[in-house]
Structure 1
Amino acid sequence: MQLVLDYLTVFAAIYAAMLAVYFATGLTMTVINARHPDRRIQKHRDGMKRVKKEIRASLSALATSSVLLSAGYFAQTQGWTLVAPLPLSWWSFPLMFVICMVLFDGWFYWGHRILHWPSLYKWHLPHHRSVAPTVWSNDSSAIVDTLIEHGFYLVVWFVLPVPALSVFALRLFDQITGMVGHSGFEYFASKSSRWPSPMICTTFHDLHHSQFHYNYGNFFSIWDRLMGTVHPGYDAMVKEMETTGEIPDTALEKVR
């Protein structure tokens, strides 16, 4: 019984932290976006009509994600994992953070691709109802969707010697960048977010919501480029933003 109570305490703390980050990031981006309407990506669609539904769905999805993260962490603290964590140090924290970041991006890409299979798409469809995503829609997902895309946060503790802080930092980074990436407003288009850089900007994932069959990656465009699923107009659009400073409407972008 004490073991169950100890786990529930860990889960409650992680879920509370995730909710705090979700609402803090959401409110901050909402204020910033209101001051910069010219940075809107899909200029002819209003994603804010779905905000209440997105927040309700996100409360459930964040709870699911917190179960995965807390279960993995708790297993490590109990010595149930295959490997013991590296001692936290100046080198182990950034090393495992980067390794986990690269691995999670691959996990997310393939999990995301699988969710687009006809047999599984019904679990991903609620997320895609936000055709013009908002900062609140990052976690607007069904439970099965979250289990597949965030299953990494359970598995990683069992197979890698991860210091807990490395995984928690990645989850925090993933949450904030995911919400910014769904915000529907572009602030980061630059040479660093187009070929040959592996990095991406908000437009990358916004194109996935408006065009559906491209840009499945999370942090990087590497897997999309390797598998031929990067939107064919993405790099040109980013370059246009650099040159003109204006945001083209991705909803009107036609695939050649």
Structure 2
Amino acid sequence: MRTVLEFLAVWAAVYATTFGTYLAFGAIFNWYCFRHPERRIQKNRDGLKRRGKEIRQSAWSLLGTCFCLAGGLYAQYRGWTLFAPLELSWWSVPLMAVVSILAYDTWYYWGHRAMHWGPLYKHHQYHHRSVAPTVWSNYSDSMVDALAMQSYYLVAPLILPIPPLVLVGHRVYDHFNGMIGHSGFEFAASKWTRVPSPMVCTLFHDLHHSKFNYNYANFFSFWDRVCGTLHTDYDEGVERWETLPDGGVPMPRARADKRTPGAVAGPVSATPAE
């Protein structure tokens, strides 16, 4: 019973912190975005029509996300892992941060592609109802979808010697990066977010929502480039945002989408234009 109560306390603390910062940061960043309407990526779609639904769904799905992180941290605390976490040092912190972020991006890419596969897509389709995502869209998932993507935070501590502080730092970075990446406003486009750099900006994930079968990764474009699932307008779009810093950039010119090699088919009709 003591073990259960300890875990519930950790889970509750992680959930309260995550949902609280989701609401606070979302409100602040949303306010900032709407002071810069010229930075909106999809000019003709209003994603905020779904704001209430997305916040309510996020309150539910974050139970699963926070369960995973709390479970990973508690397993480390109880010594239930394959390897003990490394002691914090000048080399272990940056090393394990890089290892964890790269491992997570790989986990996310392949898990995300799997969720676009026909039999599993029913668990992911709710997230794609937000064709024009907003800062509130990041956690608008079904519970199965949330667990599929976020179970990394439960599994990784069991098999990798990630210090708890590094795991928490990774999750904090993922939390805010994901919300900004779903915001629908482009503030980060630069030469560092297009080829040959593997880094990405908001346009990367926004194209995933508007075009569906492209740009599956999270932090980097590496897996999409290697597997042929990077949208062909991404690099060009980033460059246009660079050359027109006032934000006078429409979405890439409409063209017949040609499926890139390795793209996963999905029921595009299941995503209404919101």
Which category describes the TM-score, using the shorter chain as reference length? over 0.9
**Would the aligned equivalents of 2:233 and 2:252 in 1 still touch at CA under 8 Å?**
no
| Alpha-carbon offset, residue 90 of structure 1 | 2.4
**Would the aligned equivalents of 1:41 and 1:247 in 2 still touch at CA under 8 Å?**
no
Aligned position for 1:250: 251
Greater Cα shift, 114-123 or 14-23: 14-23
Greater Cα shift, 47-56 or 79-88: 79-88
Q: Which runs of 4+ in 1 moved over 6 A?
A: none
Identity %, equivalent residues: 52
Aligned position for 2:196: 196
**Would the aligned equivalents of 1:42 and 1:251 in 2 still touch at CA under 8 Å?**
no
Greater Cα shift, 188-197 or 245-254: 245-254
Secondary structure at 2:119 match in 1? coil
String of CA shifts for 1:216-238, please: whole Å, max 9, x gaps. Answer: 01000000000000000110111
**Would the aligned equivalents of 2:105 and 2:217 in 1 still touch at CA under 8 Å?**
yes
Aligned position for 1:92: 92
Q: Which amino acid aligns with 2:34?
A: A
State the number of aligned residues: 256
| Alpha-carbon offset, residue 20 of structure 1 | 2.0
| Alpha-carbon offset, residue 247 of structure 1 | 4.8
1:12 equivalent to 2:3? Answer no
| Alpha-carbon offset, residue 85 of structure 1 | 0.6
| Alpha-carbon offset, residue 105 of structure 1 | 0.3
Q: What does 1:48-87 align with in structure 2 at a 5 Å threshold?
A: 48-87=48-87
Q: Which amino acid aligns with 1:103?
A: A
Q: What is the distance in 2 between the residues matched to 1:203 and 1:130? A: 15
Greater Cα shift, 187-196 or 242-251: 242-251
Aligned position for 2:186: 186
**Would the aligned equivalents of 2:181 and 2:201 in 1 still touch at CA under 8 Å?**
yes
| Alpha-carbon offset, residue 95 of structure 1 | 1.2
Q: What does 1:162-241 align with in structure 2 at a 5 Å threshold?
A: 162-241=162-241
Aligned position for 1:117: 117
| Alpha-carbon offset, residue 48 of structure 1 | 0.4
**Would the aligned equivalents of 2:237 and 2:252 in 1 still touch at CA under 8 Å?**
no
TM-score (norm 2): 0.91
Aligned position for 1:37: 37
| Alpha-carbon offset, residue 244 of structure 1 | 2.1
Q: Which runs of 5+ in 1 are unaligned?
A: none
| Alpha-carbon offset, residue 252 of structure 1 | 5.6
Q: What is the distance in 2 between the residues matched to 1:234 and 1:3? A: 48
